[in-house]
Amino acid sequence: MKRLGLLSIGLLLAACSKSEPPPEPVRPVLSIKVEALNEETLGRFAGSIQARYESNTGFRVGGRIASRNVDVGAEVDKGTLLATLDPSDQQNQLRSAQGDLAKVQAQLINAQANARRQQALFDRGVGAQAQLDIATTDLKTTQASLEQARAAVNQSKDQLGYTELRADHKAVVTAWNAEAGQVVTAGQQVVTLAQPDIKEAVIDLPDTLVDQIPSDVVFLVAAQLDPNINTTAVIREIEPQAQSATRTRRARLTLAETPPGFRLGTAISVTLSSAIKPRIELPATALQEVDGKTRIWVIDTQNKTVNPRDVSLVSRTDSTVVLAGGVKNGERVVSAGVNSLKPGQSVKLDEDSQ
């Protein structure tokens, strides 16, 4: 009888153990925190920091360059001597003009003496009116020749001064287009000067993108060597016609501020973004399709459990999906292995998401 009771108890315990399945194992999962996107990236382009105002400067007279006094990158003040021409021709012209001036000055002395003599004779009644008129005319002609000779001397001095190329304003030398010994003509571009006070970002945009840029586009300008040096910018101007070789149009951007690291010639990376209606972007591996519906698995971070949630798609690519809603900003969802999850299943979050 005693054995029968023990057997019954054993059968009862066995039946109970079969009716209670073992607990679901805690499953490690990869997860991602939901962050709503408020901006859409339209592209990223390389460019450089340049001066808004540049001037291409040359000599006002032609000749052979005798010296080049500054190098590219040099900062110059107003009046700084940049380069000189061989002044031999201009010096000879000045000496010739000065000789003509001395000749006319001597002629003026004679004309003045002759005019005084004829006037004295006429006043005593022994001189003819015709002779006095001729002397007076010669005096006026000589005086006019003297003014002409003086102007010629001044012009020759100016021509001699034009053999020196000086900076018109404080600037940075950005390019030389001629070297010492080279013969240049009047007005030929010799050196490029940039005003360093106002800088801007310069990039080349594809012609097909320019017409699609929205009015509220934002440009994030960052130094390529140090992305922490950055600022925002807006379009100042875009070239109306694309370059035939590259089919790009040059855009000049006005910087919101100019960090000290933005020196002339600094290589920059410019990202175009536009404000959009907030949306959620997740990895494509976070999406599960069941019975024609799309869903994701949302993690309860306090209880460490997961549950499915239906969502609607806006767009998708091979690597990402964009959701119209169904999940809140800041929630955490499973980013991989969603097909083996069960509602309410306990999970262990990866260390990076703790």
What's residue 24's pLDDT?
62
* pLDDT tens per residue, range 191-245: 999 988 889 999 998 888 887 777 777 888 999 999 899 999 988 999 988 888 8
All domains of the chain, ordered by start, with CATH? 24-36+279-353 (2.40.420.20), 41-52+197-277 (2.40.30.170), 63-86+163-194 (2.40.50.100), 88-161 (1.10.287)
DSSP element (H, E) containing 230: strand 230-238
* pLDDT tens per residue, range 308-344: 888 888 778 888 888 877 777 778 888 887 777 888 8
* pLDDT tens per residue, range 241-262: 888 888 899 999 999 998 988 9
* Coil vs helix vs strand at 150: helix
Do 87 and 136 meet the contact criterion of CB atoms below 8 Å apart?
A: no
Pick the closest to residue 205 from 155, 272, 119 (CA basis): 272
Do 152 and 100 meet the contact criterion of CB atoms below 8 Å apart?
A: yes
102 Cβ contact partners less than 8 Å away, ≥ 6 residues apart: none
What's residue 223's pLDDT?
93
What's residue 21's pLDDT?
56
Give the up-direction half-sphere exposure of residue 110: CA atoms within 13 A in the CB hemisphere: 9
Q: What are the DSSP calls for 25-56, one per residue? A: PPEEEEEEE--EEEEEEEEEEEEEEEES-EEE
Rounded CA gap, 305 and 302, in Å? 8
Rounded CA gap, 250 and 235, in Å? 11
